[in-house]
């Protein structure tokens, strides 16, 4: 067998081992999973509507916006936060403007911090979402 083939086989074997050992490095592995996070503040203002965020499995976020449920992917390691393309149901309600603002702000968030029952999502520009958990 040529040296190139040996190198290819070794690379393939190492890649398979690493793929099998991959662990969740997202915020869900650092205290955010198994909780329902309720939005309390957005950009230092109390919110008057219900919006939630959950981490049901590695690489996925879901929740309830003021009108619809939503889901998105997330694969960046903690403390980074990046909601992938957000999909929602399509119900109309009086809180649709609040929902648009919530989902847009969630998409802007780039950092996460879990402090017990508090989850803080933020940006370098000092935008912030503060969530609380009852758990």
What string of DSSP letters covers 23-89? ---SGGGGTTTT-PEEEEEETTEE--S--EEEEEETTEEEEE-SSSEEEEE--PPTTB----S-EE-
- Structural domain count, the chain: 1
pLDDT tens per residue, range 97-107:
999 999 999 99
Report the helix count and the strand count for the chain, using DSSP H and E.
Answer: 2, 9
Write out the residue range of the structural domain in which residue 106 sits: 24-133
The CATH number that applies at residue 95 is 2.40.128.270
Is residue 57 in a domain?
A: yes
The per-residue pLDDT for 24 is: 75
Is residue 124 in a domain?
A: yes
The per-residue pLDDT for 94 is: 93
Give the pTM: 0.80
Is residue 78 in a domain?
A: yes
**Residues recorded for the chain:** 135
pLDDT tens per residue, range 26-43:
888 888 898 999 999 999
pLDDT tens per residue, range 49-90:
999 999 999 999 999 999 999 999 998 999 999 999 999 999
């Amino acid at each position: 067998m040529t040296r190139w083939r040996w190198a290819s086989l070794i690379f393939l074997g190492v890649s398979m081992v690493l793929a099998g050992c991959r662990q969740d490095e997202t915020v869900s592995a650092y205290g955010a999973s198994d909780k329902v996070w309720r939005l309390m503040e957005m950009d230092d203002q109390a919110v008057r509507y219900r919006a939630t965020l959950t981490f049901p499995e590695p690489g996925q976020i879901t929740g309830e916006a003021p009108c619809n449920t939503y889901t998105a992917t997330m694969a960046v390691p903690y403390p980074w936060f990046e909601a992938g393309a957000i999909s929602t149901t399509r119900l109309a309600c009086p809180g649709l403007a609040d929902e648009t603002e919530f989902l847009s702000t969630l998409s802007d968030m780039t950092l996460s911090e879990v402090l017990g029952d508090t989850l803080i999502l933020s940006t370098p520009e000092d935008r912030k979402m503060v969530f609380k958990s009852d758990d």
